[in-house]
Amino acid sequence: MSGPLALVGGGEFSEGCTFDAELLAAVGATEVTLLATGWAYENPQKSVDAARSWFAKVDVTVREVPVYTRTDALDADNAAAVANAKFIYLTGVSPMHIRSVLKGTPVYEALLGAWSAGAALVGSGAGADVLCDPMVDTRGGAFTVGLGLLPGLAVIARSDEWSPDKVRRTIDLASSGVVLLELPTSTAIIDDIGNGGWRVAGAGSVIVHRDGKLSDISVIPEAVF
């Protein structure tokens, strides 16, 4: 059975992200495998250091798998490291870069394989955005193609940092039937798999839209693998 799946609005590895400890306990992980792919051009070491400091508080180590280019995502050693993970964290600020690096690669297949075998999978910020399809292009708020783990779902990651006009534009551009979430920082939606669907965790509240109207988390679609 697939492991837990979480989408975080960004602001990961900070106070309010209490769900991390819950997910670690759920899969019995003592190590987090970090893919900071979406930070490739924004000092990824800062994210790695933040993750190590955050998880050290619960006596959990962090293993960075350095996947920042497509060549990295084709590397057999990197794919093996991800395949053996029990807890995978995908982070960053550029969903377009993550998609271009991971799509159709051994590392992404390893990520899916580990998750389907029971590992926890957490996508934060761009890492949450890219797992959906359609994916929100954060540069202007329009939609493009994501990696497709969650078809029919799109998220505005870091929605609390967007202007109301930009949020409204994205809502108006959403295709019929697509569930769109305003997902603020340090806030997650979590599918514990087999425990009744999605739930909200963390510091903030999630706003759900479908067909231009407000809805609730019961309409969020399940992952497809």
**Within a domain: residue 205?**
yes
**Within a domain: residue 224?**
no
**Within a domain: residue 30?**
yes
Give the C-alpha distances (Å, rounded to integers) separating 47 from 147, 192, 222.
22, 25, 29
**Within a domain: residue 72?**
yes
Domain containing 154 equals 5-219
**Within a domain: residue 200?**
yes
C-alpha–C-alpha distance, residues 42 and 95, integer Å: 13
C-alpha–C-alpha distance, residues 53 and 159, integer Å: 25
C-alpha–C-alpha distance, residues 179 and 10, integer Å: 19
For residue range 23-44, list pLDDT tens digits in order.
999 999 999 999 999 999 999 9
For residue range 168-206, list pLDDT tens digits in order.
999 999 999 999 999 999 999 999 976 778 999 999 999
Residue 194: per-residue pLDDT: 65
**Within a domain: residue 24?**
yes
C-alpha–C-alpha distance, residues 161 and 122, integer Å: 21
Structure tokens at 33: 């495998």
Query: Domain tally for the chain?
Result: 1
Q: What is the pLDDT along the chain (225 residues), one digit of tens a residue?
A: 799 999 999 999 999 999 999 999 999 999 999 999 999 999 999 999 999 999 999 999 999 999 999 999 999 999 999 999 999 999 999 999 999 999 999 999 999 999 999 999 999 999 999 999 999 999 999 999 999 999 999 999 999 999 999 999 999 999 999 999 999 999 999 999 767 789 999 999 999 999 999 999 999 998 876
**Within a domain: residue 225?**
no
C-alpha–C-alpha distance, residues 53 and 40, integer Å: 20
C-alpha–C-alpha distance, residues 3 and 28, integer Å: 11
The CATH number assigned to the domain holding 26 equals: 3.40.50.880
C-alpha–C-alpha distance, residues 144 and 167, integer Å: 16
C-alpha–C-alpha distance, residues 220 and 206, integer Å: 12
Residue 193: per-residue pLDDT: 76
C-alpha–C-alpha distance, residues 209 and 207, integer Å: 7
**Within a domain: residue 150?**
yes
